[in-house]
Chain A
């Protein structure tokens, strides 16, 4: 990035990719797909003590069409699975997914007939957050990690990700 203060029109040069990603990473709109205990800790993350809005992610939307960050907070059962998939599909690109807690990441200690063994068996997933449930600080750390990733993505990250998920 270059800043030209001595030029009469005070302009700045940067790469389009950097400028766009800079905007994207500080305005993530999360959609909490809260099913279980982790959703309570998500409430903790947005409330005054840790305050998610400090990281530009306070515009919580419960409609997938208005959000670009899917926060899967809680256990996904097989009964819930088709709904999660549809919600993911309803989100517009670019979109990112965070698996909050071990249940969403791997099924956790629910290795049984009702529980999906990790959401990445259904939808692509960007960040996995450890903990049962993760503390709000843990979730914030995941958010910062995701922001770093967003900053370094290509502008056609959508295509890249989708080709990834097909080959994976």
Chain B
């Protein structure tokens, strides 16, 4: 990728750009509201940019400004290096044209921005609250909304509207033709059965909710709802110092905390321009891949439970327990690890780590062999998964899919290859890619990814260099005790780091890593005040779950369950 996005945009939209910058290598433009859709369409379609993924839509609140809010569109092309940030300003009570016509993923991203900031999106098909509940008043991420102001919710929201329930399914385009009824059976339409699944349901594996309208066992129409685990990560981030946020990142995707820790630390280091010592980088790669393996173990195990193959879950969980042992000795916790620090790691590897991890990997391999032996060519399993929940590559991109789910649809895209970080370019590993984009491919891609992760870990263990695990940059690292006790500079340095925390210079950046389930991004805005001014997480499973509704139309309920498990929706990062 040689094209310089900013130059291309300046040339094409000279009069429409208000501002542009490439601070820290992130191309960013602010455009006039009227030309927003044109610019976005150009970014998507221009052959030099080809930003086919809409990663996220973030709001930012600047209370003192006349046009109070920024709406930030984060775009990515599959070609390396092509990332763009398109911003538009909007006043309180104002509106922005919707991007739903360009990307399907825009629908939920814009709903979220509306929910948390209150700007409207003209032409949006379904602009309702998404993360907070329906009785919530105000907009939670505005700077004038107090963080501790909770609001009671007394009744769960009804998702399907009365029209939809009273045979209105035809109105939304899923009438007799699609469900195999003849026109003569029109009165049967009112006999569609509404079924509520979740938010406390074994098949949802977390707090998700689907309300489906069934014709027999076929889903004719459904609505999904999230936000049941909205723990306000982004508001909490604004209330904490940069270092204090690390424990919160554990609980985003709590199945692979280690991978999150690495992602967050890398993003903040990008803002600061800190480099991490070689040893810390290798350890980060190893723990990141451990997180990926542990994540896939739970995902596949749970998916198999959903379709009735309980034994495999025990096999995988035993393997996971072996990994837990290593993680617990390394970090002191099994699940919520908080292992990285900005500029390095919490602590060095313990003695015997290599042996423990090698043993655990053998156990993972055993578990994998057991499970693949049981299911891979199993007739019942294949009948349940092959051709179920199919997502085409084009649709997957439009929905903003990344990670193993996208690769199962046949798109060879992995950030570890495309935009390597922590030295991934020096490791030898392959990216498994599926063909059909069905539930079967998604499971197989994950299984193969675990083998590749093990390859990476073994290479990492082999090359493990000696040296420090923490950067010596005094903006992020504590000075040695010797200096703290014997020099006033050292003591002040220590004092400031403990009391004020890390000072990130004003500016904004988007840091990203390949999480276990896709691109895990952190869009950060700093005003130099010691806390993030705005922190937007780009959770990989958010756009994936957004597409679930459309995937399920015309499918059987049992297929919906078989599909959902393989998408690996983790409520912690979905709702944040």
Q: Is the CB of B247 within 8 A of A74?
A: no
Residues from chain A with a CB closer than 8 A to the CB of B247 are 109
Please tell me which one of the listed residues A33, A82, A114 contacts residue B231 in the complex, with CB atoms under 8 A apart.
A114
Contacts A44-B317, A49-B321, A113-B148 given; does A36 touch B229 at CB 8 Å: yes
Question: Which residues between 143 and 161 of chain B lie within 8 Å of chain A, taking CB atoms?
Answer: 145-156
B255 part of interface (Cβ distance < 8 Å):
yes
Q: Is the CB of B200 within 8 A of A33?
A: yes
Q: Is the CB of B229 within 8 A of A83?
A: no
Interface size on A, residues (CB 8 A): 38
Tell me the bound Cα distance from A83 to B133 in angstroms: 12
Contacts A83-B156, A112-B235 given; does A132 touch B151 at CB 8 Å: no
Residues from chain B with a CB closer than 8 A to the CB of A117 are 150
Kindly specify which of B94-102, B201-209, B451-459 makes contact with the partner chain: B201-209
Q: Is the CB of A36 within 8 A of B572?
A: yes
Please, which residue of chain A has its CB at the minimum distance from the CB of B145?
A113
- Closest CB-CB distance, B234 to chain A, in whole Å? 10
B270 part of interface (Cβ distance < 8 Å):
no
Bits for A62-95, please: 1 = Cβ < 8 Å to B, else 0. 1000000000001101111111101100000000
Q: Is the CB of A77 within 8 A of B231?
A: yes
Please tell me which one of the listed residues A33, A49, A75, A111 contacts residue B148 in the complex, with CB atoms under 8 A apart.
A111
Question: Which residues between 125 and 155 of chain B lie within 8 Å of chain A, taking CB atoms?
Answer: 131-133, 136, 140, 145-155
Q: Is the CB of B227 within 8 A of A77?
A: yes
B199 part of interface (Cβ distance < 8 Å):
yes
Tell me the bound Cα distance from A135 to B206 in angstroms: 19
Residues from chain B with a CB closer than 8 A to the CB of A111 are 147-148
Q: Is the CB of B231 within 8 A of A115?
A: yes
- Closest CB-CB distance, A20 to chain B, in whole Å? 29
Residues from chain B with a CB closer than 8 A to the CB of A33 are 200
Q: Is the CB of B571 within 8 A of A36?
A: yes
Question: Which residues between 8 and 34 of chain A lie within 8 Å of chain B, taking CB atoms?
Answer: 33-34
Please tell me which one of the listed residues A39, A82, A84 contacts residue B155 in the complex, with CB atoms under 8 A apart.
A82
Q: Is the CB of A77 within 8 A of B228?
A: yes
Residues from chain A with a CB closer than 8 A to the CB of B148 are 111-113
Please, which residue of chain B has its CB at the minimum distance from the CB of A37?
B254
B292 part of interface (Cβ distance < 8 Å):
no
Question: Interface residues of B toward A: which range?
Answer: 35 or more
Q: Is the CB of B206 within 8 A of A78?
A: no
- Closest CB-CB distance, A14 to chain B, in whole Å? 38
Q: Is the CB of A44 within 8 A of B231?
A: no
Residues from chain A with a CB closer than 8 A to the CB of B353 are none
Question: Which residues between 31 and 51 of chain A lie within 8 Å of chain B, taking CB atoms?
Answer: 33-37, 39-41, 43-44, 47-49
Residues from chain B with a CB closer than 8 A to the CB of A62 are 200-202
B236 part of interface (Cβ distance < 8 Å):
yes
Q: Is the CB of A41 within 8 A of B230?
A: no
Residues from chain A with a CB closer than 8 A to the CB of B227 are 77, 79
Residues from chain A with a CB closer than 8 A to the CB of B228 are 35, 77, 79-80, 83
Closest 3 CB pairs of A and B: A37-B254, A79-B133, A47-B317
Interface, chain A (partner B; CB < 8 A)? 33-37, 39-41, 43-44, 47-49, 62, 74-75, 77-84, 86-87, 109-117, 132-133, 135
Not counting A62-B200, A79-B227, A80-B207, a sample of 15 additional A-B residue pairs whose C-beta atoms are within 8 angstroms of each other reads: A36-B207, A36-B571, A47-B321, A48-B318, A75-B231, A77-B207, A78-B153, A87-B200, A109-B247, A111-B148, A112-B235, A113-B147, A113-B232, A114-B140, A114-B150
Interface, chain B (partner A; CB < 8 A)? 131-133, 136, 140, 145-156, 199-202, 205-207, 227-232, 235-236, 247-248, 250-251, 254-255, 298, 313-314, 317-318, 320-321, 324, 334-336, 571-572, 575
